[in-house]
Amino acid sequence: MEHIYKQKIIQGREIMKTSDYEVESDEAKGLPQPLLSNEKSTDTVVQLSKEFEDIITDGNFLSVLNNRTSKRKYAEEALTLKELSFLLWATQGVKGVIGNKRKATLRTVPSAGARHPFETYLFVNRVEGLNQGLYHYLPLTHELELIREDSDQENKVTKAFLGQSFAGGAPVCFVWSVVPYRSEWRYTVDAQKYALLDAGHICQNLYLAGGAIGCGVCAIGAYDQQLTDSLIGLTRAYSLEEDSEFAVYAAAVGKKVKES
């Protein structure tokens, strides 16, 4: 058993290395590129603002960096829709689309080859103007689509996140899923490493953007994979096909508790 355990560790470490495999990518083969982001799946869509100047409470970048810590306790105060819009824009906002035959999105975060293999899902509990439930961010149009309303999602999210009640009870819990083929289309066996690096860029932007508007953030890497995927509705998590998608990272967000 210990031998198998050590083998697993070694295999995991290999992902962090640059591979020396020479594999012809699907891009090199001339195969069609995958979608830049998942398409809208419901008719209930919320338009989001890009006017953020009036919500910044700490515009001093050095201050935001110095004050960055993980926060697991949040005020009962709800986030405004504009504040949530800012956090979404800061983490996955599309600034432009480039290319003709081979298109790519330019976003507020870097991504290897501008592949941006992530989707953003939100478990919303307390955001002004939004009903409690699961939402999906549409980065190309800067909109939110309501997947479903759910008045019992706090308990479900807490269970999926292995009893971490701050995740289930937070005003908003971000969950990022990965669509591996978006990166694999170009980078084949190195795509997994690049995607995990990209996930870090996204969450760090959430920390910094949250700090600028008085929000606390706590990144989450521990969760039940099957429960979380099921809760989001990802039924192709274990497929080897191009539409495979599964949760890979999360973060709870809420207004900081005011110090007395």
pLDDT digits (tens, 9 = 90+) for 181-232: 999 999 999 999 999 999 999 999 999 999 999 999 999 999 999 999 999 9
User: Which residues are within 8 A (CB) of 53 and not within 5 positions of it... i.e. 6 or more apart?
Assistant: none
In a domain, 6, yes or no: no
Which pLDDT score is estimated for 201? Answer: 98
Domain holding 248: CATH number?
Answer: 3.40.109.10
pTM of the complete model: 0.94
Between the alpha carbon of residue 165 and those of residues 42, 114, 149, 170, the distances in Å are 29, 35, 20, 8
Q: What is the DSSP letter of 162?
A: T
In a domain, 136, yes or no: yes
In a domain, 216, yes or no: yes
In a domain, 239, yes or no: yes
Least confident piece of the model among 10-19, 90-99, 123-132, 147-156:
10-19
Give the residue from 158, 178, 135 showing the smallest Cα distance to 224: 158
What residues make up the domain containing 64?
Answer: 44-255
In a domain, 4, yes or no: no
In a domain, 33, yes or no: no
If DSSP codes are grouped into helix, strand and coil, which group holds residue 37?
coil
Which pLDDT score is estimated for 11? Answer: 83
In a domain, 123, yes or no: yes
Question: Domain tally for the chain?
Answer: 1
Nearest-angstrom CA–CA distance, 253 and 210: 8
Which pLDDT score is estimated for 12? Answer: 83
Q: How far is CA 33 from the centre of its chain?
A: 22
In a domain, 233, yes or no: yes
Which pLDDT score is estimated for 200? Answer: 98
pLDDT digits (tens, 9 = 90+) for 25-69: 999 999 999 999 999 999 999 999 999 999 999 889 999 999 999
